Structure 1
Amino acid sequence: MATKIIVRIIVAILPIISVLCEEVCYDDLGCFSNDPPYDLLPGFPPESPDVVNVRFFLYTRLNRDLWMEVDRKEPESLATSLFNPARKTLIYIHGWNNVGYKSSFAVDLTNALLDAENANVFIIDWTGGSDAPYNQAIQNARITGREVAYFIQFLHNETDIPYSRFHLMGSSLGAHASGFVGENQPGIGRISAFDPAGPFFRGQDPALRLDQTDAEFVDVIHTDAESALRLGLGMLQPMGHADFYPNGGKEQAGCPKNITDHIDDFFRTSGCSHSRAPLLFLDSLDPTTGCELTSYPCSSWENFQAGLCSDCGRRGVCPVMGYYAERSRANGLLYLDTGSVSPYCVLDEA
């Protein structure tokens, strides 16, 4: 009886201890602070690395259908893998409540990336940390970011692959986890963000979210940047060197446009606009579409709609959204129209 009472007391005071705790440390992963500005993020402290359980699954053109798991604490797993430091390394980090490397999107993205480039493709799985209440998952993303940063350092130290040869891709909360990677390891070549999560990140200090200092080139696709009152899951504010706003960045073609007028349809297809960003990026890798997701520099969506931004600037090169954005020297605020189904470069008929 006394033991049960003690257990109940401990369970009752744990939340209070968590709130009062200013720092938590986890072995070789180091410490995580709740000091400003980190106190602005909910859910502190992050769960342990054992719970978050970040795993790294390697795919190459020689093992598209059979992943190879690499562990930074087991160098032999890298030595016996098909990792090639002479090739670019592409890393995808999923978002909240996602099924990780088993998702159909991860499979499609892996194959599309390998079709486009003879690369090392790592699909990150952190479902142990992402399948938590959203507040907790935010903190667990900090664990994921540091784990991935240390993994990249491991690859660099073992093979001499330059940090500039890494290209991270992150969906929603995974986009901010990618930002935490760049915060922990400067010099990452590129981060591509698919509609970075908005709740608790809007207007926050750059240290708490993705920003353009997290990699040499940061490109962001905004697709669900409606206000919190309209249940937007993304962010409107620019965060990268190139910020793309398809259809204005708030609502996507074919998705519910107004939750008060179409509330039943909205909840039936909740997340439609938010999930469009990764699909647009995937579409940019498809060579069979016959067209590109061409964007235009503009100061606002309203000006773009008014036809005031129909040229491609002094260079005369129209920036392309998606995988090839870096080649087209995309920068600034970029707007474009898309269709409602793939290929998205084909606009819907009026």
Structure 2
Amino acid sequence: MFLWQYLALLPLITVDLCKAQGCAEFTDLNLSHSFIGTSLDVRLLLHTRKNVSCASLLSHTNLTAHAQFNLSRPTTFVIHGYRPTGSPPMWRKNITELLLERDDINLIVVDWNHGAANVNYFKAVENTHRAAENLTAFIQLMTKHGASLSSIHMIGVSLGAHISGFVGANFIGSIGRITALDPAGPQFTGTPPEQRLDSSDAQFVDVLHTDIDALGFREPLGHIDFYANGGTDQPNCPKTVFSGGSYFKCDHQRSVLLYLDSVNRTCASRAFPCSSYKDFLDGKCLSCERFGDAGCPVFGYDVTKWKDVLLKLRQTKTYFTTNGVSPFCMTNYRVDVMIWNEDVRWGYITIKLHGTRKEAVATINHTAAKFTKFKETRLFAHFDKDIGLVKKVSLTFSTGNVFKPKYKLRILRVRLTHMEREERSLCRYDILLKESKEVTFRPVPCEESNF
């Protein structure tokens, strides 16, 4: 056999070897199972750094039968949500690989597809309680063999978030951490804490919301709640029902993709505590003083760096914006504009940052900004990437009024302040912006008197 032929067969050989060694596969069902209805069957698929791609099926009663299951290591449970089509979650392989790359842990993928695959959503909700009892019994067995509840991290997606909460409540909040990725809203909204995920269910509970107007839960549930893009209408997700199934699930599934970026350290999304998304976009919530030298928390896997201060604050609601594709994180600048027009001007600003080989764009158009003579107008700009050193800046002013006369914005000073890096603000003085005409300039470090 030629070498290239052998190499081409390697993936098949690996699969065959995996099957021969008894790799446990995630349950793969289809729509027919969902229509018939499935009875709950919880399978625990163990992955470690020694068997990243080949899971071992754990026994619910005999932990000593699995040499790979080392209870001196931390254990992370990943729990999926409702599976109306019966298919395995598309993200299970990625999350397994990325979590094990980050930490040497026991990673248990909880396969409750038999129980989650059902066209009757109410039956799947009912099964969350039974799945939680199953996991509770397994964790009790772990503790009898020396495992620490503090070393357990549960990552729950949608219904899986509430399963994590039920398990945590059974241990009176002693589990180390629960991460909830867009916790399910239907059948849980308006219920008391004991019937859903709650911040008392673990020592630390962090929650991401991406679909609060449909499949997700709207209100805060954890010690810190992150609302990506306000928790609704994620970028690049379909806006109409004519897009098919993705219209219903895209926003909801985005939660997992955002979390994967954080595990992979692709980039970091700084989140700002605020009472509303509008105030966040208006730049009214840019203070991070309450978090000390660490600054505002970063969404995702590494938010535990802020754990101590977040526990003292008890409940923190934060917002951040994202791109429509990975890398999802954006770069934030505070933009302060002072004009010297005699009359008030209303309009929108588009800003481009030019680096050596890169360009980043931010359009501030969620609402028309009010510009008043000698009064500073604060804007919050979210750029699609971080270009590093800024060489040039381009500004465009528009009013959105097609049939009205074109206006000019005479800027006395514009100041750009990076919200993630400790560096001197950039300024430009005396700029005339003609409506819808881009003006490019080289910024200079702001004068000390302007800080």
TM range (shorter): 0.7 to 0.9
Larger radius of gyration: 2
Identity of aligned residues (%): 39
Secondary structure in structure 1 of the residue aligned to 2:39: helix
1:85 paired residue number: 71
User: Are 2:226 and 1:244 equivalent residues in the alignment?
Assistant: yes
After TM superposition, give the deviation of residue 101 of structure 1 in Å.
10
CA contact (8 A) 2:234 2:254 kept: yes
User: Are 2:298 and 1:320 equivalent residues in the alignment?
Assistant: yes
User: Are 2:166 and 1:190 equivalent residues in the alignment?
Assistant: no
Q: Which runs of 5+ in 2 are unaligned?
A: 1-37, 332-359, 364-451
For residues 189 and 40 of structure 2, the distance between their equivalents in structure 1, rounded to whole angstroms, comes to 24
1:63 paired residue number: 51
Deviation string 1:95-139 (CA, Å, 9 cap, x unpaired) is: 011789953311110100001101110000011111122100001
State which of 314, 319, 332 in structure 2 corresponds to 1:335: 319
After TM superposition, give the deviation of residue 254 of structure 1 in Å.
1.4
CA contact (8 A) 1:246 1:336 kept: yes
CA contact (8 A) 1:52 1:128 kept: yes
Secondary structure in structure 1 of the residue aligned to 2:178: strand
1:275 paired residue number: 253
1:345 paired residue number: 329
User: Are 2:198 and 1:211 equivalent residues in the alignment?
Assistant: yes
CA contact (8 A) 1:70 1:81 kept: no
What amino acid is the match of 1:73? T
CA contact (8 A) 1:295 1:334 kept: yes
For residues 141 and 85 of structure 2, the distance between their equivalents in structure 1, rounded to whole angstroms, comes to 26
State which of 102, 108, 127 in structure 1 corresponds to 2:94: 108
Q: Which runs of 5+ in 1 are unaligned?
A: 1-49, 227-231
Cα 1:105–1:170 shift into 2, 3 Å: same
Structure number with higher helix proportion:
1
State which of 240, 254, 277 in structure 2 corresponds to 1:301: 277
State which of 97, 110, 117 in structure 2 corresponds to 1:124: 110
After TM superposition, give the deviation of residue 302 of structure 1 in Å.
1.2
2:147 paired residue number: 161
CA contact (8 A) 1:94 1:100 kept: no
After TM superposition, give the deviation of residue 75 of structure 1 in Å.
3.6
2:28 paired residue number: none
1:16 paired residue number: none
State which of 147, 151, 157 in structure 2 corresponds to 1:171: 157
Secondary structure in structure 2 of the residue aligned to 1:302: helix
CA contact (8 A) 2:269 2:330 kept: no
1:26 paired residue number: none
CA contact (8 A) 2:156 2:180 kept: yes
For residues 193 and 96 of structure 1, the distance between their equivalents in structure 2, rounded to whole angstroms, comes to 14
Structure number with higher strand proportion:
2
Secondary structure in structure 2 of the residue aligned to 1:221: strand
For residues 302 and 193 of structure 1, the distance between their equivalents in structure 2, rounded to whole angstroms, comes to 24
User: Are 2:61 and 1:73 equivalent residues in the alignment?
Assistant: yes
TM-score normalised over the length of structure 1: 0.78
Secondary structure in structure 1 of the residue aligned to 2:77: strand
After TM superposition, give the deviation of residue 191 of structure 1 in Å.
0.4
For residues 194 and 54 of structure 2, the distance between their equivalents in structure 1, rounded to whole angstroms, comes to 37
Secondary structure in structure 2 of the residue aligned to 1:191: strand
CA contact (8 A) 1:100 1:106 kept: no
For residues 99 and 64 of structure 1, the distance between their equivalents in structure 2, rounded to whole angstroms, comes to 26
1:95 paired residue number: 81
Secondary structure in structure 1 of the residue aligned to 2:60: coil
More displaced 10-residue stretch of structure 1: 235-244 or 248-257: 248-257
What amino acid is the match of 1:244? F
TM-score normalised over the length of structure 2: 0.61
Please provide the CA RMSD for this pair: 2.0
Cα 1:84–1:113 shift into 2, 3 Å: same
1:34 paired residue number: none
For residues 206 and 256 of structure 1, the distance between their equivalents in structure 2, rounded to whole angstroms, comes to 33
Secondary structure in structure 1 of the residue aligned to 2:306: coil
After TM superposition, give the deviation of residue 167 of structure 1 in Å.
0.2
Relative contact order (alpha carbons < 8 A, sep ≥ 6): 1 or 2 greater? 1
CA contact (8 A) 1:100 1:126 kept: no
